[in-house]
A and B are shown apart, each in its own frame.
Chain A
C-alpha cells in the first residue's frame, strides 16, 4: 500500500539515491550472462588446445627410439574418446582408470618419464569441465547447441587430427635424418668402390706394362 501510494504521488519526488543502491546490494550478485558463459567456454577451449599442443610438442621431442608415433595415436584416441561425453564433474579416479585402460603399458611408462601423464590428467579435467559447460549452454540456449556441436568437433575430430599430424611430422623428421644418413652412406660406398677399383686397374696396367716391356 505504501508502495502504491508512493508511486501515485505526482510529480514524483526525487528519490534519494541511497535507496535503490541499498536494494541492489541486498540482492545476490547476478550470475554471468549467456554471452559471458559462451566466452568462458571459448577461453576454456583455447586453453585446452594450447595445453594439448604443448603436450604434443613434449611427445614430439622425446628422444628417438621412444615409440612416439604409438603415443600420438593413443593420445589422439583417448582425447577423442567417450570419457569426455560425461557431464558429471571431473572425477580423478574415473580419469585415471580410463587412462590406465586407454594407454599401453609402454606408453604409460614413457609418459610418466617425460612428465606428460600429469599434463594429460590436468587436460582431462579441463575437458570434462568443458563438456559440462557446453552441455549447460546447450540446454539453455538455442545457439548453445551449435557451440556444443563445434566444441565436440574440436575434441572429437580436430584434436585427434592434431596428434595424427604431429605423428606425421615426427615420422618426417626421423625420415629426414635417416635419408640424409643413407644418402651419405651411398655416396661413401660408391666413392670407395671407384677409388679402390682405380687403384687395382692402375696396378694391373703397371704389371702389364712391365711384363710387356720385358
Chain B
C-alpha cells in the first residue's frame, strides 16, 4: 500500500514538475518574445533614423544646390548680357572703322594738298630768288623782297612742320586701322567663346535642375518608406 502510495505520489510530483517546467519554459518563451519585440521596435527606430539622416542630407544638399542653381542662373543672364554687349561692341567697332577710313582719307587728302601747295610755294620762292639775283632791282626793292622771301621761307618751314604732323596722323590712322581689325577679330572670338559659355551654362543649369528634381523624388520616396515603416512600427509596438 505504502509502495503504491509512494508510486502515485511520485508520479503526481513528476507531473507537477513537468507542468512547472512547461510553465517556466512558456514564461521564458513569452519573455523572449517580449524582449525580441522590444528589440524589433528599436530596430525599426534605427531604420527610421537612417532614413531620416539621408533625408536631412538630401535637404542640406538641396539647399546648397538651390544656391548653385541661383549662381548658374545669374551667370546665364550675365552671358546673355555680355553677348549683347559684345555684339554692340562689334557694331561700335564697325562704326569706328568707317570713321577711321574717312579720317584716313581726309588726312591723306589734306597731306596731299598741303604737299602740292608746299611744292608750288617752294618753286615760287625759288623763282623769286632767281629773279632777285638776275634782275637789277633798286636796293630798297631788293631789300623788301628779300624780307618777304625770308618771311615766306619761315612760314614754309612752319608749314613743313605741320606736314610732318599730318604724316604722323596718317601713320596713326594706319595703326588704328590695324588695331580696329585686331579688335574685330578678338571680338568675334570673344563672342564665340561667350556663346559657348552660354551653351555650357544652359546645359549645366538644366542638369542641376534635373538633379534637384531627382533629389526631390528620392526624398519623397524615402518619406513613403518612412510612412510605411511607421505603420509597421505601430502594428508591432506592444499596446499598453
- A residues in contact (CB < 8 Å) with B: 1, 4-5, 7-8, 33-36, 38-39, 41-42, 45-46, 49, 141, 143-144, 146-147, 150, 153-154, 157-158, 161-162, 164-165, 168-169, 171-172, 175-176, 178-180, 182-183, 185-187, 189-190, 192-194, 196-197, 200-201, 203-204, 207-208, 210-211, 214
Q: Name the one of B42, B180, B236 contacting A39, with C-beta atoms under 8 angstroms.
A: B42
- Check if B132 is an interface residue, CB within 8 A of chain A: no
Known: A189-B190, A197-B89, A204-B100. A35 touches B54 (CB 8 A): no
- Check if B149 is an interface residue, CB within 8 A of chain A: no
Is B36 in contact with A172, judged by CB distance below 8 angstroms? no
Interface stretch of the complex, out of B120-128, B134-142, B192-200:
B192-200
Measured CA separation A112–B217 after assembly (Å): 33
- Inside 8 A of A150's CB, which chain B residues have their CB? 43-44, 47, 229, 232
Interface size class of B (residues with CB under 8 A): 35 or more
Measured CA separation A33–B39 after assembly (Å): 11
Could you show 19 A-B contacts with beta carbons less than 8 Å apart? A8-B10, A34-B35, A38-B36, A42-B43, A42-B46, A45-B46, A143-B36, A154-B47, A158-B51, A169-B61, A172-B65, A182-B75, A193-B186, A201-B92, A207-B100, A207-B172, A210-B165, A211-B103, A211-B110
Is A197 in contact with B93, judged by CB distance below 8 angstroms? yes
Which B143-187 residues have a C-beta within 8 angstroms of A?
A: 165-166, 169, 172-173, 176, 179-180, 183, 186-187
Known: A168-B211, A200-B180. A35 touches B96 (CB 8 A): no
Q: Name the one of B35, B82, B99 contacting A189, with C-beta atoms under 8 angstroms.
A: B82
Dominant SS at the B interface?
A: helix
Q: Name the one of A8, A42, A204 contacting B99, with C-beta atoms under 8 angstroms.
A: A204
Q: Which residue of B lies closest to A176 (CB)?
A: B68
Is B183 in contact with A197, judged by CB distance below 8 angstroms? yes
- Check if B208 is an interface residue, CB within 8 A of chain A: yes
- Check if B223 is an interface residue, CB within 8 A of chain A: no
Is B85 in contact with A190, judged by CB distance below 8 angstroms? yes
- Inside 8 A of A46's CB, which chain B residues have their CB? 46
- Check if B118 is an interface residue, CB within 8 A of chain A: no
Measured CA separation A211–B102 after assembly (Å): 11
Known: A189-B194, A211-B110. A153 touches B225 (CB 8 A): yes
Is A201 in contact with B96, judged by CB distance below 8 angstroms? yes
Known: A158-B51, A172-B65. A182 touches B38 (CB 8 A): no
Is A7 in contact with B39, judged by CB distance below 8 angstroms? no
Is B85 in contact with A193, judged by CB distance below 8 angstroms? yes
Is B32 in contact with A35, judged by CB distance below 8 angstroms? yes
Q: Which of B39, B99, B207 has its CB near the most chain A CB atoms (within 10 A)?
A: B39
- Inside 8 A of B93's CB, which chain A residues have their CB? 197, 200
The digit string for B59-98, where 1 denotes a CB below 8 A from any CB of A, is 0010011001001100100110010011001001100100
Tell me, rounded to whole Å, the shortest Cβ–Cβ distance linking A209 to chain B. 10
Q: Name the one of B33, B50, B197 contacting A185, with C-beta atoms under 8 angstroms.
A: B197
Q: Name the one of A8, A194, A201 contacting B13, with C-beta atoms under 8 angstroms.
A: A8
Q: Which of B14, B40, B169, B186 has its CB near the most chain A CB atoms (within 10 A)?
A: B40
Measured CA separation A208–B110 after assembly (Å): 13
Known: A45-B46, A162-B54. A146 touches B236 (CB 8 A): yes
Measured CA separation A118–B99 after assembly (Å): 72
Tell me, rounded to whole Å, the shortest Cβ–Cβ distance linking A2 to chain B. 10
- Check if B115 is an interface residue, CB within 8 A of chain A: no
Measured CA separation A154–B229 after assembly (Å): 12
- Check if B131 is an interface residue, CB within 8 A of chain A: no
Q: Which residue of B lies closest to A167 (CB)?
A: B211
Task: Give the top 4 A-B pairs by smallest Cβ distance, nearest first.
Answer: A4-B10, A34-B36, A35-B35, A38-B39
Tell me, rounded to whole Å, the shortest Cβ–Cβ distance linking B225 to chain A. 6
Is B40 in contact with A164, judged by CB distance below 8 angstroms? no
